[in-house]
Amino acid sequence: MKNFRLLVALLFICIADRAWAAGFALDVLSARATGMAAAVTAFIDDAEAAYYNPAGLAQGKGLDVRIGATPIVPSFNFHSDNTGQTSSVIVRVTTPPHAYASYGITDQLSVGFGFFTPYGLVVPWHTNWEGNFLSIKSDLRTYYFNPEIAYRITDRVRVGAGVQVVRTTVSLKRAIRFSPGNFGIVELAGGSWGVGGNGGVQIDIIPSMLTFGATYRSSVSSDINGRAHFSNIPLPLQTTLRDQNVSTHLSLPGQFALGLAYQGVTNLKLSFEMDYVGWQAVQRLAINFENPNLNSVEPKNWNHTWNYHLGAEYDLTSQWRLRGGLMYDPTPSPQDTITPDVPDANRVNIAVGAGYQWNQFGGKFAVDAGYQLVVVTHAKTTAPLLPGRYGGVANLLSLTLGFHL
């Protein structure tokens, strides 16, 4: 019975891991930024600044609207130390959307709004795979609603700030093994709302040549409440492993970014950025079930990370822009906490992109496309229940349509 309690209690922990792991923190929230490996904090100058740096909203009078989506095709595999077998996730496409709008009230004052999904992928394994008692499917979805205001203090200095209202939904499906070839299924689902803030600054150190940008997005804490549903449970265990309420506390970590953009070469913009993510806030997770005998506290021992971005944008003509970039993003997870719901490892992102803009009906239209190949380097896990090695790739294609008036 102790093993059953541990397995069930771990379920909701895995949902929380799924939300925090660097391998599933999305920074492809616009096609322009996707094509530059998200190295845009220092110079972003359209409505997409609502996510990347609200100071960039202060661009004078005018209306700017951007809307798009990013289909993501992940492919992960696991090589088991226990059996020597290799298992792969089911390939499934997810498409997180993004939408932004900004309006310059005066030459100095602007307002903006962003809707985006910075966390969320689906990781579906085959029902009968070796690690089904840890995960069959994990699903995280976050929806950020972010109104903001920005102000140009001087010709060289812009600042911005906003409030982020976050809706989070999580679900998990996994097996509970009773004997060889005999297992039940448990599915958990829950949701919550959370509130935080964000702010940023852009400074033209050398006008039209060198710009500094910094942005901060606070952590968002919320209490997740949901239900656990059990099926195919043997009769002697149905009293304990019954449908019931479950809850935990969820904290998405705070983060900030520092960037420099150089435009000293005609038609070429180069940008370097360092992003800090405070994963060390996640040291343990306490899980509470309606039946207190199933409650559990599990150590996680996450570490903070710095990820590094290098991007370029070249104005090929007055209408065409070409982009490229590289990013290195390390995992925050120690080896003994990497599990199949989060097949995470250090990541290397290779990005390319292009944009086309034209004048029509008194305004300026734009179409941007960005692609990233995300290489998830092979990571050794020493997790006691399922040691082995994870690795894989993900393909991301972002498309954004824009209008400026």
Q: What residue ranges do the domains of the chain occupy?
A: 2-404
* Whole-number percent of the chain with pLDDT over 70: 92
Question: Which residues touch 84 (CB under 8 Å, ≥6 apart)?
Answer: none
pLDDT in tens, 214-236: 999 999 988 889 998 989 989 88
In this structure, are strands 182-206 and 157-179 parallel, antiparallel, or unpaired? antiparallel
How far is the CA of 237 from the CAs of 8, 184, 234, 242, 379, in angstroms?
12, 11, 6, 8, 37
Which run of H or of E encompasses 93?
none
First to last CA, the chain: 65
Please report the pLDDT score of residue 7 as a whole number: 37
Token pair listed for 179 = 């004997």
DSSP 237: G
Question: Which residues touch 40 (CB under 8 Å, ≥6 apart)?
Answer: 32, 33, 48, 52, 53, 259, 271, 273, 311
Provide the greatest CA pair distance for the chain: 75
Please report the pLDDT score of residue 122 as a whole number: 77
Pick the CATH number of 2-404 from 2.40.160.60, 2.60.40.10, 3.30.420.40, 3.40.50.300: 2.40.160.60
Q: Determine how many CB atoms are found less than 10 A away from the CB of residue 139.
A: 19
- Residues 174, 188: Cα–Cα separation, whole Å: 9
Q: What is the dihedral of CA 353, 359, 362, 367, to 10 degrees?
A: -20
Which run of H or of E encompasses 32?
helix 31-35
Range with the lowest mean pLDDT among 35-44, 62-71, 227-236? 227-236
User: What mean pLDDT is predicted for residues 79-87?
Assistant: 88
Q: How far is CA 322 from the centre of its chain?
A: 25
- Residues 309, 272: Cα–Cα separation, whole Å: 6
Residues in the chain: 405
DSSP 52: H
Please report the pLDDT score of residue 168 as a whole number: 85
- Residues 179, 102: Cα–Cα separation, whole Å: 59
Please report the pLDDT score of residue 76 as a whole number: 80
How far is the CA of 195 from the CAs of 141, 162, 169, 249, in angstroms?
16, 11, 15, 14
Please report the pLDDT score of residue 4 as a whole number: 38
Name the pTM for this structure.
0.87
Please report the pLDDT score of residue 24 as a whole number: 58
Using an 8 Å Cβ cutoff, are 370 and 37 in contact? no
Q: Determine how many CB atoms are found less than 10 A away from the CB of residue 161.
A: 16
Max mean pLDDT among 6-20, 80-94, 95-109 falls in 95-109
